[in-house]
């Protein structure tokens, strides 16, 4: 039955209304689904909202807030940062309160979240993702009474400093384990992006491997993403296909690579945190952060007003990084040997990047008789001999 | 760089493993589009079902239950799309994009607790390491047979080609479309389960990484023929495996370029296909994405 013109019009109008209502409900559901878990970002512009009473300040404690780009349950970078926060709170519980906002995207969101944290009375803020640097600089400029400590950045402001630890020494020790445990003398490395900190870790790993297997090679594959488990699995499989029998990794979460290695009977070296539970048979060890000690040092300097904006760096010696517990396959003798090397590094008797160091093309990068300089370490964009695929761009 | 480990066999298995999730999604989308409904929310459907697969497996310890839950999750997302597009006759493009955002938001929100949770991988079945791979082949063959050789298949094609004529000839077009969207979405759900349980072995936010969008393009490459859905999916699998294999073998090409290759090939394939479609326009379901209301 064809409809009359009037009915047809009415029908299409009613239809448009139903669709509009459906779309609105949908949009609301989507917005809500995208929210963070612990902290709902404010819906409107902050200037329009009534000022929140500074709760932490009222209690006489220093309010400290952390912002992470991913979930803290990732057994990776964010997990390690949250462990550090818990350590900080346990250590200085009578002087500080802490809170953490996770899953905040880099961009406009993080600026809003940080301003909200300031309005809530927090006076020390840790923006913990590389891409938070510029938003943090903007919020810092607007709030001179608040101290910001950014992770890994290269710029500072009057009330913004940066801090990071380097995992290279721990990777060097893990390299000794990898070299001893490898039968094929092929060690694979799945990296996120060819940035200096990761290249430095790969070089340290290779130098560690070469102390026990001078001719072993380290093959690197980049995924081009901090977190993409599908690509990480593909990259791991490509390295295993090539004959690697130990895989090391630096992605936001090491799980995908460790599990890909475990599935095919290969050994694995983790990063960020102890993820041995994901590879009960193949886990060797890993490089992990010990942010807790670092955060306590920084917080104490804010509490006694000795804090200054600077680029704080540290490693094994300062206790800011450590070697993850050994897997059950690592023999006792090897453990003792590696722990002895660890002690040598802590005591300053052993330096990972001490000359002579030759790069893949045979150029002498660090001459005999001197250690690598701060600039050489921070900007490392070349790979040591024995590393393949490391810096092709 | 030492060679000798390279073999066609590992390249083949890598291709199949990387392509299986895209294959399920492509096959499912083909069925939906043959009925005349385009589902641009495929990426969101895969994310949601991948998350549900890990959640159900973590809760029950049984990966097969995880797969079944993912199928149900995919079908539930399909139900939303079918309700909007078939029952309410909303704009399919807008509904699909909303479905994508819903799936993405829901899975990242509900999945926050699942990051870093260890789940059991897919068990071997009858000596086959990854039972979802042969299942995908069976489904491709079955979909081809059903579409071209059965009454139901003819009704499916008719709904997507000429819904009004089909209705006059006794086909319940809305029912056919509803079922096709549900089925297609459920298949994308298996794809999500394979990605999470059979491939990456864990849940992570944005785990699907664009595979849902690629699948929509691969439907066009297969020219809406379910039997050809494997071609595009495995082409994508081959390219993504190859990009890492080449990188690991020290090919002196930027890895940024290599990681772009799968998507580049997708675009090239689309261009080539649309050239051929211009010569044979019959390949496109004539009523695709057009709202249909019963008279």
Separation CA A186–CA A189 (nearest Å): 10
Which of A102-116, B1-15, B79-93, B255-269 has the weakest average pLDDT? B1-15
Backbone angles phi, psi at A302, to 5 degrees: -70, -40
User: How much is the pLDDT for A58?
Assistant: 45
Report the pLDDT value the prediction gives residue A154, as an integer from 0 to 100: 82
Task: Give residue A131's pLDDT.
Answer: 87
Least confident of A177-181, B21-25, B170-174: B170-174
> Looking at the predicted structure, is the pLDDT value of residue A393 above 70?
no
Residue owning tokens 């393009």: B217
Examine the pLDDT at A158 and tell me if it is beyond 60. yes
For A20, A125, A189, B83, B93, the CA distances from A24, given in Å and listed in that order, are 6, 36, 47, 15, 16
- Quote the pLDDT of residue A13: 46
Nearest CB among B101, B109, B252 relative to A35 is that of: B109
What gap in Å lies between CA B126 and CA A267, rounded to an integer?
28
Angstrom distance (rounded) from CA B71 to CA B230: 20
pLDDT (0 to 100) of residue A344: 95
Position A5 pLDDT exceeds 60? no
> Which pLDDT value is given to residue B28?
97
Mean pLDDT of B163-175: 92
Q: Span B257-286, mean pLDDT?
A: 79
Q: How would you list the strands of the sheet with A147-151, edge to edge?
A: A96-101, A62-67, A124-127, A147-151, A160-165, A311-314
Query: Is-cis flag, bond preceding A291, omega within 30?
Result: no
DSSP string for residues in chain B = ---SS--HHHHHHHHHHHHHHHHHHHHHHHHHHHTT---TTHHHHHHHHHHHHHHHHHHHS-HHHHHHHHHHHHHHHHHHHHIIIIIS---HHHHHHHHHHHHHHHHHHHGGGGTT-----PPPBTTBS-THHHHHHHHHHHHHHHHHHSHHHHHHHHHHH-HHHHHHTT--HHHHHHHHHHHHHHHHHHHHHIIIIIII-S--TTTTTTHHHHHHHHHHHTTT-GGGHHHHHHHHHHHHHHHHHHHHTT-SS-HHHHHHHHHHHHHHHHHHHHHHHHH-GGGS-TTTT------
The string of pLDDT tens digits covering residues A104-145 is 888 888 999 999 999 999 999 999 998 899 999 999 999 999
Residue in chain B lying closest to A189 (CA): B248
In this prediction, residue B184 has a pLDDT band, given cuts at 50, 70 and 90, of: very high
Question: Is pLDDT above 90 for B118?
Answer: no
Least confident of A46-55, A81-90, B34-43: A46-55
On whether any CB of chain B is under 8 Å from the CB of A277, the answer is: yes
Read off the pLDDT of residues A250-304 as tens digits, 9 standing for 90 and up: 998 899 999 999 989 999 999 998 989 999 999 999 999 999 989 999 999 999 9
Average model confidence (pLDDT) for chain B? 88
B252 touches chain A (CB under 8 A): yes
Interface probe for A, chosen from B19, B100, B130, B255 (most Cβ of A below 10 Å), is B255
Residue A65 belongs to what H/E stretch?
A: strand A62-67
pLDDT value for A125: 97
Instruction: Calculate how close chain A gets to B92, using CA atoms only, in Å.
Output: 11
pLDDT band at B70 (very low <50, low <70, confident <90, very high): very high
- Count of pairs with CB atoms under 8 A, one residue in A, one in B: 189
State the average pLDDT over residues B59-81: 96
Instruction: Say whether pLDDT at A2 is over 60.
Output: no
Pairing of strands A321-323, A283-289: antiparallel
Residues B154-183, buried b or exposed e (16+ Cβ, 10 A)?
A: bbbbbbbbbbeebbeeebebbebbbbbbbb
Whether the predicted pLDDT of B295 surpasses 90: no
Q: How far apart are CA A291 and CA A166, in angstroms?
A: 11
Cα of B205 to nearest chain A Cα, Å? 8
The span from the CA of A172 to the CA of A166, in Å, is 11
Residue B218 in this model has a pLDDT that exceeds 70: yes
Residue B112: closest C-alpha in chain A = A71
Does the complex come out with an ipTM higher than 0.85?
no
Whole-model pTM?
A: 0.79
Neighbours of A390 (CB within 10 A): 25
The pLDDT of residue A65 is above 80: yes
How far is it, in rounded angstroms, from Cα B191 to Cα B44?
Answer: 12
Confidence of residue A59 (pLDDT cuts 50, 70, 90): low
B118 touches chain A (CB under 8 A): yes
Q: Are the beta carbons of B255 and A224 separated by less than 8 Å?
A: yes
CA distance A367 to B70: 58
- If contacts are CB pairs under 8 Å, which of residues 168-197 in chain A contact chain B? 186, 188, 194
Mean pLDDT across A66-88: 91
Q: Nearest-5° angle of CA A95, CA A98, CA A104?
A: 160
Predicted confidence band at B9 (pLDDT cuts at 50, 70, 90)?
Answer: confident
Residue A32 banded pLDDT, cuts 50, 70, 90: very low
Greater model confidence, B257 or A388? A388
A116 touches A146 (CB < 8 A): no
**For position A391, what pLDDT does the model report?**
66
Q: Indicate the DSSP class of residue A190.
A: E
Cβ burial of B37 (10 Å; 0-12, 13-18, 19+) is buried
pLDDT at A29: 44
In a 13 Å sphere around the CA of B142, the CA atoms on its Cβ side amount to 8
Mean pLDDT over the full length of chain A: 84
Tell whether A266 lies on the interface with B, counting CB pairs under 8 A: no
Please give, rounded to a whole number of angstroms, the shortest distance from the CA of A44 to a CA of chain B: 20
Estimate to the nearest angstrom the gap between the alpha carbon of A231 and the chain centroid: 18
Rounded percentage of chain A residues whose pLDDT exceeds 90: 60
pLDDT at B241 > cutoff 70:
yes
* HSE value, Cβ hemisphere, 13 Å, CA-based, for B162: 7
- Which of A225-234, B131-140, B232-241 is the most confident on average? B131-140
- Give the pLDDT of residue B134: 92
User: Which residues are B125's β-sheet partners?
Assistant: B128
Q: Give pairs for B10-14: CB < 8 Å, separation 24+.
A: B10/A237, B10/A241, B11/A241, B11/B238, B11/B241, B11/B242, B11/B245, B14/A234, B14/A237, B14/A238, B14/A241, B14/B237, B14/B241, B14/B245
Q: At B204, is the pLDDT very low, low, confident or very high (cuts 50, 70, 90)?
A: confident
Sign for the pseudo-dihedral over CA of B34, B39, B44, B45: negative
Q: Give per-residue pLDDT as tens, A78-88.
A: 999 999 999 99
> From CA A167, how far away is CA A200, in angstroms rounded?
9
B183 pLDDT higher than 90: yes
- Decide if A255 touches B, using CB distance below 8 A: yes
Higher pLDDT, A191 or A48: A191
Q: pLDDT class for A155, splitting at 50, 70, 90?
A: confident
Are the beta carbons of B206 and A228 separated by less than 8 Å?
yes
> In sequence order, which residues have a C-beta less than 8 Å from that of residue B215 and are 6 or more positions away?
B22, B25, B26, B29, B42, B188, B191, B233
Provide mean pLDDT across the span A96-111.
Answer: 90
Are the beta carbons of A118 and A67 closer than 8 angstroms? no
Q: In the prediction, which pLDDT does A42 show?
A: 37
A370, A377 contact by CB (below 8 A): no
The band of B174, judged by pLDDT with boundaries at 50, 70 and 90, is: very high
Number of neighbouring beta carbons within 10 Å of residue A241: 23
Contact between A178 and A187 (Cβ < 8 Å): yes
Position B252 confidence tier, pLDDT thresholds 50, 70, 90: low
């Amino acid at each position: 039955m064809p409809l009359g013109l009037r009915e047809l019009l009415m029908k299409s109008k009613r239809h448009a209304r139903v669709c509009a209502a459906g779309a609105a409900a949908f949009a609301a559901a989507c917005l809500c689904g995208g929210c963070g878990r612990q902290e709902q970002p404010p819906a409107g512009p902050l200037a329009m909202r009534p000022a929140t009473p500074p709760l932490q300040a009222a209690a006489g404690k220093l309010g400290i807030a952390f912002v992470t780009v991913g979930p803290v349950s990732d057994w990776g970078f964010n997990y390690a940062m949250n462990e550090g926060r818990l350590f900080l709170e346990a250590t200085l519980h009578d002087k500080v309160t802490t809170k953490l906002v996770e899953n905040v995207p880099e961009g406009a969101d993080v600026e809003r979240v940080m301003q909200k944290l300031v309005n809530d009375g927090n006076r020390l803020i840790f923006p913990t993702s590389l891409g938070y640097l510029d938003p943090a600089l903007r919020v810092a400029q607007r709030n001179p009474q608040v101290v910001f400590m950014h992770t890994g950045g290269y710029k500072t402001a009057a009330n913004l400093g940066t801090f990071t630890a380097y995992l290279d020494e721990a990777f060097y020790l893990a390299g000794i384990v990898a070299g001893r445990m490898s039968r094929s003398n092929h060690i694979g490395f799945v990296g996120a992006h060819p940035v200096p900190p990761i290249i430095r870790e790969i070089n340290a790993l290779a130098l560690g491997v070469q102390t026990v297997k001078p001719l072993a090679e380290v093959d690197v594959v980049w995924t081009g993403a901090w977190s993409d488990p599908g690509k990480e699995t593909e990259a791991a499989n490509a390295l295993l296909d090539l004959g690697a029998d130990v895989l090391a990794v630096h992605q936001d979460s090491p799980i995908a690579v460790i599990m890909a290695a475990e599935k095919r009977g290969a050994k694995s070296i983790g990063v960020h945190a102890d993820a041995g539970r994901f590879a009960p048979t193949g886990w060797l060890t890993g490089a992990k952060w010990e942010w807790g000690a670092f955060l306590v040092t920084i917080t104490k300097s804010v509490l006694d007003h000795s804090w200054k904006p600077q680029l704080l760096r540290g490693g094994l010696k300062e206790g800011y990084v450590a070697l993850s517990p050994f897997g059950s396959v690592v023999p006792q003798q090897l453990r003792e040997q590696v722990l002895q090397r660890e002690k040598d590094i802590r005591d300053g008797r052993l330096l990972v990047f001490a000359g002579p160091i030759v790069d893949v093309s045979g150029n002498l990068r660090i001459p005999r008789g001197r250690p690598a300089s701060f600039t050489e370490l921070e900007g490392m964009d070349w790979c040591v001999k024995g590393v393949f695929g490391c810096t092709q761009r | 760089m030492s060679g000798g480990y390279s073999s066609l066999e590992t390249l083949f298995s890598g291709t199949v493993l990387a392509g299986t999730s895209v294959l399920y999604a492509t096959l499912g989308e083909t069925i939906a589009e043959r009925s005349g409904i385009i589902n641009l929310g495929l990426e969101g459907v895969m994310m949601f079902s991948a998350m549900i697969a890990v959640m159900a497996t973590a809760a029950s310890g049984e990966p097969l239950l995880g797969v079944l839950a993912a199928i149900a999750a995919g079908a539930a997302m399909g139900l939303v799309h079918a309700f909007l597009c078939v029952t309410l006759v909303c704009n399919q493009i807008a509904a699909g994009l909303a479905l994508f955002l819903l799936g993405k938001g829901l899975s990242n929100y509900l999945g926050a607790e699942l990051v870093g949770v260890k789940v059991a991988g897919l068990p071997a079945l009858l000596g086959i390491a990854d039972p979802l791979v042969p299942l995908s082949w069976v489904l491709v063959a079955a979909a081809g047979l059903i579409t071209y050789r059965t009454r139901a298949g003819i009704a499916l094609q008719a709904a997507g080609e000429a819904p009004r004529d089909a209705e006059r000839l006794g086909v319940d077009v809305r029912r056919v479309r509803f079922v096709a969207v549900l089925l297609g979405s459920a298949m994308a759900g298996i794809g999500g389960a394979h990605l999470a349980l059979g491939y990456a072995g864990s849940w992570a936010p944005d785990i699907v990484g664009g595979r849902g969008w690629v699948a929509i393009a691969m439907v066009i490459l297969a020219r809406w023929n379910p039997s050809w859905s494997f071609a595009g999916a495995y082409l994508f699998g081959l390219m993504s495996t190859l990009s890492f294999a080449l990188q690991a073998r020290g090919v002196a090409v930027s890895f940024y370029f290599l990681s772009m290759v799968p998507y580049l090939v997708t675009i090239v394939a689309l261009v080539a296909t649309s050239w051929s479609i211009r010569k044979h326009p019959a390949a496109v379901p004539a009523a695709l994405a057009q709202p249909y209301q019963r008279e």
